[in-house]
Amino acid sequence: MLLATYQPDIRSINDSLTASALTAALPLATLFFMLGVLRVTAWISGLVALGVAWVVAIGGFDMPVDQAAAVSTWGAGFGFFPIMWIVISAIWVYNMTVATGHFDVLRRSFATISDDMRIQAIVIAFCFGALMEALAGFGTPVAISAVMLIALGFQPMKAATLALVANTAPVAFGALATPVVTLSKVTAPANTDPALADHFTEDHLGALIGHQTPVLAVFIPLVLVVIVDGKRGLRQCWLPAVVGGIAFAVAQWLTSTYFSVQLTDVVAALVSALAIVVLLRVWRPVETYSDLAEEPDAETERTIRRDTPNGSGRSPLSRPTGDDGGVAVVTDTRADIARAYAPYLVIIAIFSIFQIDGVKKEMLSEPWTYLFQWPGLDLVTASGKPPADYTFNWFAAAGTLTIIAGLITMPIIGIKPTAAVQAYVKTYKQLWPAIVTVMAVLALAYVMNNSGQTGALGNWLADSGDGFALISPILGWLGVAVTGSDTSSNSLFGALQVTAGQGAGLDPALMAASNSSGGVLGKMISPQNLAIAAGAVGLTGREGDIFRKVVGWSLLLLVGMCVLVFLQTNVLEWMLPSP
């Protein structure tokens, strides 16, 4: 006898949305309790939470065991490709620059902007991280900016915290505005008012988001300064933080509203960095802050030795001098500096070429891209629609493009093929806990999504009437906290935001945009990103400690976003753009 196709019921438990939602919250509660309270390593926490999601899905939401298995492998597959694929590729390029010593050159080049670590945190974690988010997203900026901060002398825990907190304001426009494009695709069909059809275009949704996340951008550099040096840092370095934040905010607002949604973060990151560089020509802090005078802890020492090829803590371009074997002051030539920047310039060039319409269209078609139904699936969504196809864009994926950039970079930085292969193997050894974590968490997300658990939580939160404007960003925050992706969160809750907004008499497009804007604040507590940050700085197993460092900032900024969205539905309606 053939089994019927599985369709989730968001009221599966006692025909009660409340009971179903509270039960559906158990996997997430398990995950964050193990991470934040018990401080269990992320990959173990992810696997345990996945087991709880299985129990809830099969026992509470009547999901067949074979379908739970199928969606788990589907989510795990998506976790590896394309998400971890881009992170692995980016860290490989970084490891090659470490092996050749060119990363030290890059570090010294950034240090010439300012030798104050508070300003370095803004330039690298916020500005450079935003540029990486614009081009690649999916954890890449966290990984790269964290290791750059390590190279400048930041303690591993502080470097991870800074990278995660900084990766907020740019996220909604990351990977060339992929979250906005996705939001437009899922919200337009959910709109029931023909008069609002033009409210769900990429341009209008991007403009709405561009009137929310820039507010975050003003404050994030100030938060980074506080993380580095507390109240003293805020007192002494508020000016570059404000200049960088406002420059980013204005550029993000103008670009998303009037120019190009896809290039929003590219423009904002470059304008912000330029504004800070110009300021530093006429201004310096009253005293320079540096952690380098502090004795490094054992974890820092291991990280330094791990990330240098000879285990000495020195790069091949560092030259010992004197009887004590100290490291000489190195004056880098222009050619050295050009080669150090080359990997990132090549990455920018490759991604820019891919964005040319003809090239992008070709690369997203066969034989470069394959769409297929994941094997073993026999289910539909709660609304009766078939599940989305799995996209295997093996050549056009951001990770593959980064590998191509790495291959082009190899002769430029002078690394031999054997050393490049060794660096690639090292990358997998370095990141295996992060790979397992991300695959487990995405499997968890897919089980929750396809069994109705996420839908039960979302609809329960949406059933709040006029107060939905305060809750709307929380839905996005929850979605990103679970999946680690603003794109995935928009896929999950975008249509729900439109339906709830129309039911509550609120602007449905604004609610949809708020899903993405609130979602960016869930990025820093996502187990996926926690694992990436921990793996990048050599703190694998201490994801719970990092979580405790960032969760307060996540919640505080989320409250601010909720208040902003609520005010935009009434007293601040004047600040919203017209379609």
Joined together, the tokens standing for residue 73 give 């492998």
Q: What is the pLDDT of residues 512-537, one digit of tens each?
A: 999 999 999 999 998 878 888 888 88
Dihedral Cα 90, 486, 200, 256, nearest 10 deg: -50
Q: Is 434 exposed, middle or buried (0-12, 13-18, 19+ CB in 10 A)?
A: buried
For the chain, the average pLDDT equals 84
pLDDT, position 328: 53
Residue 329 pLDDT: 59
| HEC secondary structure over 2-19 | CCCCECCCCCCCCCCHHH
Residue 177's pLDDT band, with cuts at 50, 70 and 90, is: confident
Q: Residue ranges of the domains in the chain?
A: 17-188+196-369+394-575
Measured at the CA of 441, the angle between CA 440 and CA 442, to 5 degrees, comes to 95
Quick one: pLDDT at residue 548?
A: 93
The C-alpha atoms of residue 479 and residue 491 are separated, in whole angstroms, by 9
Q: What is the mean pLDDT of residues 416-421?
A: 96
Task: For 188-225, give one letter per residue: b (16+ CB within 10 A) or e.
Answer: bebbeeeebeebbbbbbbbbbbbbbbbbbbbbbbbbbb
Q: What is the pLDDT of residue 361?
A: 74
Best mean pLDDT range from 60-64, 88-92, 100-104, 186-190? 60-64
3-class secondary structure per residue, 393-459: CCCCCHHHHHHHHHHHHHHHHCCCHHHHHHHHHHHHHHHHHHHHHHHHHHHHHHHHHHHCHHHHHHH
410: its two tokens:
């190899």
pLDDT at residue 190 tops 70:
no
CA atoms within 13 Å, Cβ hemisphere of 560:
17
- Taking the C-alpha atoms of residue 356 and residue 367, their distance in angstroms, rounded to an integer, is 19
pLDDT tens digits along 35-79: 777 878 778 888 999 999 999 999 999 999 999 999 999 989 888
> What are the pLDDT digits (tens) for 120-142?
999 999 999 998 888 767 677 88
Query: pTM of this prediction?
Result: 0.75
Q: Which residue has the tokens 């009221």?
A: 11
Q: 3-state DSSP call for residue 381?
A: coil
CA distances (Å), 230 to each of 104, 160, 555, in order? Answer: 28, 17, 19
Residue 301 pLDDT more than 90?
A: no
Is pLDDT at 4 greater than 70 in this prediction?
Answer: yes
Average of per-residue pLDDT across 418-430: 92
Reported as a single tens digit per residue, the pLDDT across 441-479 is 778 878 988 898 877 877 787 777 678 889 899 989 988
pLDDT confidence of residue 308: 41
pLDDT of residue 223: 97
